[in-house]
Amino acid sequence: MDVDSQPMMEETVLVGDDLMLGPPSPIIPPEISSHVLDGVNLCDGILRNLFLCLQVNDIEPFCQEEIALYRECAEKRDKELRQRLQDSEYKLGVSMPLDLAKERASQLESETTTLERRLILASGIEGADGFRQRWSLHGRLTDTKKRMEALKQGIESRKKDDNVVTASVKAPTRNKWILTTETTAQVHTQLFTKKLLEKAVSDYEVEVVIGKVKSVEAGGGEITAVVEGGGVISMCCLAPPRHPRMFPACWLAGELPFVPEFCRNVRRWKLGLII
């Protein structure tokens, strides 16, 4: 058998442009970077080895293993970062004050429009420089659109809950618990707390205590909380969160129409907000 007559398999040599076959790495906004980047392997050690290899050997064919390792690591990293970005935008849509969430959505829409215009202009640039610009802009445009979609999904998911909150705050019911998993505090924590604080301070001269809870004791139909840095709140109502994404909302006690009967013995009305 003539070995020389057999077809030879062509060996693929990886170069720097092979790292541009997929989308570019996503840009992480600084306001959510701590959450998005936490615990993610950024491939910085592999990238350092690649640069060192290129510095020593000067040409890519001698750094095939380093290029392959970095490409594999970068693909996995970028996929995870993109998913975290979308998750973070969704959570912002759910938890941010509605006006700020809508403002953020408008900013992302404006950024999308700008990137689309820049991509059109880059289509007229020839050569490698034009390709790199289009590659970068297309990746940023795609990521921005997905972030905007996730943010809007978060906003939409809370609209129904916000309607329930508004109705509950405007029309409290006499002698009924308001801190249950079906009522105001559990539907949308921030909106409920804001409305409750405004009414409590303006109409009832309430003393507001905000702080981290150090300890909680229950007995005799009441709950007493000690706040870090000093201060005690006497309460009779404690509502756990309905959903893991929710924060424990509020404790309250006092002589108000919507406070349970066995809370009426509390002389001074206080509101304690858990942070």
**pLDDT at 137 exceeding the cut of 50:** yes
Token pair recorded at residue 122: 């880059």
Report, as an integer, the average pLDDT of 83-99.
93
- pLDDT: which is higher, 45 or 177: 45
Number of Cβ within 10 Å of residue 24's Cβ equals: 18
Helix (H) or strand (E) holding 223, with range, is strand 222-227
Model confidence, pTM: 0.55
- Encoded tokens for 31: 């306001």
Helices (H) and strands (E) in the chain, counts: 7, 7
State the pLDDT at residue 75: 94
Q: Do 163 and 226 contact (CB within 8 A), yes or no?
A: no
pLDDT at 109 over 90: yes
Determine the Cα angle at 137 with ends 135 and 139, to 5°: 70
The pLDDT score that the predictor gives to residue 84 is 96
On whether the CB atoms of residues 223 and 216 are closer than 8 A, the answer is yes
Domain ranges of the chain: 11-161, 172-274
